């Protein structure tokens, strides 16, 4: 028997819903609708590059954690895990080999610092770091290079991504950004 939803358990029992019970529980993730809508055939033409647009916004509106001289750090709008960061050069450049020496150094340093801040704030057990270079390699925004910094915890993968093609993220992006931005200012440079 599946217990009914409670404040400590945000999952609703199917038996409490109208219609024929199907034995499935429901985990509500309304923020995913932005992702779903962006992939519909009726969606308008792609807007400007999100990584070029973000720096023109306030840090809170652009989900920017910190700004450097040639690169900046922001939250992934569609995170794999809470705290999933992206390190982007300001310059609209697609290929890692086209970065200037200053951009390479700052992307690397911001990535290292992001890991230290995430360890302090979120306490992950590990990280996935990487760049998808080109659409064929899985880059969602292939025209603007970005380094993924994904915090990982033992046991953080479950059936949702495999069966439901859904990732449950238990924290609002604004809350994550605020906590990381505050810790970023406090964390000393190595």
Residue pair 112/56 in contact (Cβ under 8 Å)? The answer is: no
- pLDDT digit string, tens, across residues 129-154: 999 998 888 888 889 999 999 999 88
Q: What is the DSSP string of the chain?
A: -PPPPBTTB-PBPGGGSSS---S--B---TTHHHHHHHTSTTSPSP-S-HHHHGGGS-HHHHTEEEE-SSEEEEE-SS-SSTT-EEEEESS----GGGS-HHHHHHHHHHHHHHHHHHHHHH--SEEEEE---SGGGT-TTTTS--EEEEEE-TT---HIIIIIS-----S-HHHHHHHHHHHHHHSPP-
- pLDDT digit string, tens, across residues 3-44: 444 555 555 555 555 555 555 555 666 666 666 666 555 545
Q: Is residue 23 part of a domain?
A: no
Q: Is residue 123 part of a domain?
A: yes
Query: What's the structural domain count of the chain?
Result: 1
Tell me which residues are annotated as active site: 146
Please report the pLDDT score of residue 185 as a whole number.
81
Q: Is residue 175 part of a domain?
A: yes
Task: Give pTM, 2 decimals.
Answer: 0.68
The parent domain of residue 147 ranges over: 50-186
């Amino acid at each position: 028997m599946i217990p009914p939803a409670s404040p400590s358990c945000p999952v609703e029992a199917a038996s409490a819903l109208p219609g024929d019970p199907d034995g499935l529980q429901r985990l509500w993730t309304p923020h995913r609708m932005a992702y779903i809508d962006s992939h519909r055939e009726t969606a308008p033409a792609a807007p400007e590059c999100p990584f070029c647009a973000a720096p023109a916004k306030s840090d809170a509106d652009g989900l920017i954690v910190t700004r450097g001289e040639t690169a900046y750090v922001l939250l992934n709008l569609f995170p794999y895990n809470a705290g999933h960061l992206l390190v982007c050069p300001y310059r609209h450049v697609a290929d890692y080999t086209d970065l200037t020496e200053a951009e390479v150094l700052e992307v690397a340093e911001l990535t290292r610092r992001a890991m230290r801040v995430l360890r302090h704030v979120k306490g992950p057990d590990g990280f996935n770091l990487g760049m998808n270079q080109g659409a064929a390699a899985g880059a969602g925004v292939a025209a603007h290079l970005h380094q993924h910094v994904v915090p990982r915890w033992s046991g953080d993968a479950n059936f949702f991504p495999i069966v439901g093609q859904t990732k449950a993220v238990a924290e609002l992006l604004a809350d994550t950004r605020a906590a990381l931005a505050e810790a970023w200012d406090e964390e000393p440079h190595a």
